[in-house]
Homo-oligomer: A and B are copies of this chain.
Amino acid sequence: MMIIMKPNATPEQVEHVIEQVKAAGLNAHLSQGVEATIIGAIGETHNIPTDIFEVLDGVDIVKRITQPFKLASRQFHPENSVFPLDGFTVGGEEIAIIAGPCAVESRSQIIETAQAVKEAGASALRGGVFKPRTSPYSFQGLGEEGLEYLAEARQQTGLPIVAEIMSQIQLDLMVKHVDVLQVGARNMQNFNLLRAIGETQTPVLLKRGLSATIEELLMSAEYILAGGNKQVMLCERGIRTFETTTRNTTDINAIPVLKNLTHLPVILDPSHATGHADYVSAIARAAIAAGADGLIVEVHPDPAHAVSDGKQSLRPEKFAEMVKQVGQIAQIMGRRLASVQKEVQL
C-alpha cells in the first residue's frame, strides 16, 4: 500500500502516518520525492482498509499495490479453479448450462421442464422455491414443498439442482436438498448469509448485485472463501444503467475482466441480463465467445402462464436451438458443453 502525502504535508503529519502504519502491524518505508512524499506500507495489507490512512491529516491518496481480495485473486492462485458438480466439472473445459423456470410452481411444471431442458442439453436444473419479490403481495415461492419437487426432478433426470437461498435461516434445509446454493443479486452483500454459506461445503453460485462493481463481487466471494468453502461460481446477470430498452445492461466486459482477475468460474445469466426472451440466445452466444464458463437460463414450458419472469423465459424448443448455437461457439473456444452422464434412477 502506498500513502501519498499532500505537497504541503508537515513533517509531523508524515511522522504520524508512519506511526499509524506501524500500529496497523505493517512496516513503513519513507520515500521523499520532489513533488510528494510517499510512505510505503508493507506487509499483509489486503485485510487493512485504505480509509484508516486516508483520513489522516496531510494524506492525499492511498493506493493499494495488491488487491483487497486474496483468496479469490488469480495473483495467488494462477490456475483456474475447477470443481465437480454431480457428473461434470465447472471452470475447466466443459461449459455448464443451468436451465429451468424462474420459480418452481408445481410438481408437474418442474418435472416437465427438467425433462425438456435435459433433452435440450442442459447440465443442471434451476428453480426458485424462495423468491425475492419487489412486492410483498407477489407469489413468494413454494418453500419446502418446492424443494421436494426439485428432488424428484433430479431423481428423474439426473440433473443437479441450483436454487436460491435468501436467508441463513434457510441454510440447513437448502444444504440438505440442493446441489448449488444460489445467492441472488439482492443478497450479494448480505454478509451474514455469505458468512454462513462459507461454513458449508455446498457449491455456490454468487450473482453480482444490480449495481455492484466487479471488485465488490470479488470481495463478496472472498467472504465465502474465507469461511473455507472454495466452490464459488461468479455470475454476471446484468447491471442497472440509464438504458431502459432492456431490463438490465449485460456487462459483457465483466467476463474477460473476471477471468483475468480471478481463478473462479464465471457464468452469465442472459435471461435477467436482457429481460426479453428474444435477446437471450444472442447474449448467450456472446457470453461464451467472450470466455464465460457457463450459462444460467430461464426456461418455462409455457411462459405465458409463468407466475414470474415469463417475459424472459425461453420455450424448450427455443432453448434447444440456443444450446446448439452455444455448442458451436464453445468448440471454437476450444471447449465443449458439459453433459450429465450419470445413470438416471427411474
Q: CB within 8 Å of B: which residues of A?
A: 1-2, 4, 7, 27, 29, 31-36, 38, 40, 42, 46-49, 51-52, 54-57, 60-61, 63, 65, 68, 132-138, 140, 166-169, 186-187, 189-195, 210-211, 213-216, 219, 222-223, 226, 239-246, 249-257, 260, 273-274, 278-279, 282-283, 285-291, 303-304, 306-311, 325, 328-329, 332
CA gap between A186 and B193 in the complex, in Å:
12
Judging by beta carbons under 8 Å apart, are A4 and B2 in contact? yes
Judging by beta carbons under 8 Å apart, are A136 and B223 in contact? yes
Q: How far is the CB of A106 from chain B (nearest CB, A)?
A: 16
Enumerate the 7 nearest inter-chain pairs by beta-carbon distance, A residue then B residue, closest first. A47-B137, A211-B211, A55-B310, A289-B289, A286-B286, A256-B282, A285-B289
Judging by beta carbons under 8 Å apart, are A138 and B253 in contact? no
Judging by beta carbons under 8 Å apart, are A308 and B51 in contact? yes
- Chain B residues in 8 Å Cβ range of A194: 136
Judging by beta carbons under 8 Å apart, are B252 and A283 in contact? yes
Judging by beta carbons under 8 Å apart, are A213 and B303 in contact? no
Q: How far is the CB of A203 from chain B (nearest CB, A)?
A: 19
Do A49 and B135 contact each other (CB < 8 Å), given the known contacts A33-B31, A42-B35? Answer: yes
